[in-house]
Structure 1
Amino acid sequence: MNTPRVDPANAESLRTWDGTDGEYWATNADAFDATLAAYMEPFFETADLRPAERVLDIGCGCGRTTIDAARRTSPGRAMGVDLSAAMLDVARHRAQAEQVANIEFVQADAQVYHFEPGGFDVVLSRFGVMFFADPPTAFANIARALRPGGRVLFAVWQSPAHNTWMQVIRDSLAMGRDLPAPPPDAPGPTSLADPDRVRHLLTGAGLHKVKLTGVRRPACFGTDLESAYEFVSGQPCVRFLLKDLDDAARAEGLAALRATIAEHLTGDGLLLDSAAWFVTAVRH
């Protein structure tokens, strides 16, 4: 498969998402979807998809939202784009297994990909638009893909202060270190946590009626201690927090993470509070 064209600013993102990070999420596709399962019903209620609509799913990953969107809009079409070839392979196999044919998946950088101008009625993203190195350029490109009057729905994370799952992972791996928070506008899970920044970016891209609705749901990271520890301990954010430690300290950090998971287990597994914004807007 040819390497997709990316904005030079996203070259590092391609290396990670089309490398070990993407392979991890592809291997753990079902566990990841279970984490976000409580968001799916309100997400699609907000999307209000209709038959024959054309849907673009940004950062589609392993394709769950794209497949569900394709079903809801048949005989319309759904297109999912992502940087990870491994995750897109999972998405294609899922679509085939579920006999969803009105769908395509493209390995692409949505910041620079040549979408058909006005080719879509709806643009969706389930936690996939927070990683652009140049968000103004990316959102302008995405907006051009919408027909006039077309609409967007992006699910993005609120700040770590509102997401217990982020705090639990970070605190258990601090190991006495003062871990600085990432710059608020740097690419990453919480880069779109600030409502004012989101409004500025989307209006600057040619969208209006920008609205952010807070949604809180429990995130499930596993049904028992072993499944939760296996899933969480392998996540890229955990590897990043451990990478500067020696072997002994790394083992100590993982033991602390395991103990923290055990403390938070419920009868329904590892359920941690999470909070997102559902961002909606309309193209002029």
Structure 2
Amino acid sequence: MATPVDPSNVDQLRAWDGNQGDFWTSRADRFNEGVAAYQDDLLDAARIDRAAKVLDIGCGSGQTTRDVARRAVDGSVLGVDLSSSMIELARGLAAREELSNVAFEQVDAQVHDFPEAHFDVAISRHGVMFFGDPVAAFANIARAVRPGGRLALLTWQPAERIEWMIKFRTLLAAGRDLPLPPSTGPSPLSLSEPDVVRELLSTTGFDDVRLHDLAEPMYFGRDVDDACDFIAEQHAWLLADLAEDEKARAIADLREDLAEHQTERGVLYDSAAWLIEARRR
């Protein structure tokens, strides 16, 4: 049965339940490794108690969902995502880890009929920036959270604070003037401006909105070869229109930059995220 989605999210469903979702399913471990430095901050902000009922929005392969389930041992956790392949992977990993208090569903959180005032906490690790109608989406999420319940989110900060985003696009653009992701609409940067976040959440049912500035290194691979393979695959759309000699030069430039970011812990680039906390009115 087709997943019901709001018309504004049809393109997102096509991407996340298509090639983009397949890519992140195959590279789930790399994504989890990449943002691992932010994980404990998010979980601590969520303040999960043993009996908590938790909603994980844009759960992907379910790493955060499973980590929460290990804290809410007497509660329950629901992870939701648009990607059927990631949901399938998440279910398999939860079963392998013998977690009986976790479930996964392929739904559009913007319109899904969650039980009203059911969850104690709603969380998301870089999964809420892509709604076609964020006001409707967060109003729906608020409806699902009990009064006094909590919201804990990770979103990216503006691009100038995210070294890897600017570097990779610049290097793989090969001299072309390609724009960064927009700060409006479905985009990694749609919740990067604090005033936008505060207004959005305060008008959709949340109070006490706080943004905490986090800056952590992002991991892209154990060495230059490993990181280059991953980044070139992730950004294949940037390379697709280049002639072969241009593509070779772009990859060579990327490899040179990766070598400059090689550390004992692997290839690392700076990044910055907002840890957003709020309370359901």
Give the whole-Å Cα distance in 1 for the aligned partners of 2:244 and 2:23: 22
The AA in structure 2 aligned to 1:246 is A
| Root mean square deviation of aligned Cα | 1.2
Give the aligned partner of residue 211 of structure 1. 210
Give the aligned partner of residue 264 of structure 2. 267
Give the aligned partner of residue 54 of structure 2. 55
* Structure 1 unmatched ranges of 5 or more: none
Give the aligned partner of residue 39 of structure 1. 38
The AA in structure 2 aligned to 1:263 is E
Map 1:34-183; keep pairs closer than 5 Å. 34-183=33-182
Give the aligned partner of residue 189 of structure 1. 188
Give the whole-Å Cα distance in 1 for the aligned partners of 2:218 and 2:160: 15
Give the aligned partner of residue 240 of structure 1. 237
- Deviation of 1:10 after TM superposition, in Å, equals 0.6
Give the whole-Å Cα distance in 2 for the aligned partners of 1:185 and 1:27: 29
With the length of structure 1 as denominator, give the TM-score of the two structures: 0.96
- Deviation of 1:184 after TM superposition, in Å, equals 1.4
Match of 1:279 among 251, 254, 276: 276
Give the secondary structure class of the aligned counterpart of 2:55. strand
Give the secondary structure class of the aligned counterpart of 1:137. helix
4+ runs deviating over 4 angstroms: none
- Deviation of 1:75 after TM superposition, in Å, equals 1.1
- Deviation of 1:42 after TM superposition, in Å, equals 1.5
Give the secondary structure class of the aligned counterpart of 1:232. helix
- Deviation of 1:98 after TM superposition, in Å, equals 0.8
Give the secondary structure class of the aligned counterpart of 2:175. coil
Give the whole-Å Cα distance in 1 for the aligned partners of 2:32 and 2:203: 32
- Deviation of 1:267 after TM superposition, in Å, equals 2.0
- Deviation of 1:251 after TM superposition, in Å, equals 3.4
Give the secondary structure class of the aligned counterpart of 1:52. coil
- Deviation of 1:263 after TM superposition, in Å, equals 2.3
Give the whole-Å Cα distance in 1 for the aligned partners of 2:130 and 2:103: 22
Match of 1:258 among 246, 255, 264: 255
The AA in structure 1 aligned to 2:117 is G
> Which piece of structure 1 moves more, 32-41 or 263-272?
263-272
The AA in structure 1 aligned to 2:207 is H
Give the whole-Å Cα distance in 2 for the aligned partners of 1:242 and 1:131: 24
Give the secondary structure class of the aligned counterpart of 2:215. strand
Q: Give the 3 Å change call, closer, same or farther, for CA 241–186 of structure 1 in structure 2.
A: farther
Give the secondary structure class of the aligned counterpart of 2:178. coil
The AA in structure 1 aligned to 2:246 is A
Give the secondary structure class of the aligned counterpart of 1:234. helix
* Structure 2 unmatched ranges of 5 or more: none
User: Between the two proteins, what is the percent identity of the paired residues?
Assistant: 47
Give the aligned partner of residue 20 of structure 1. 19
With the length of structure 2 as denominator, give the TM-score of the two structures: 0.97
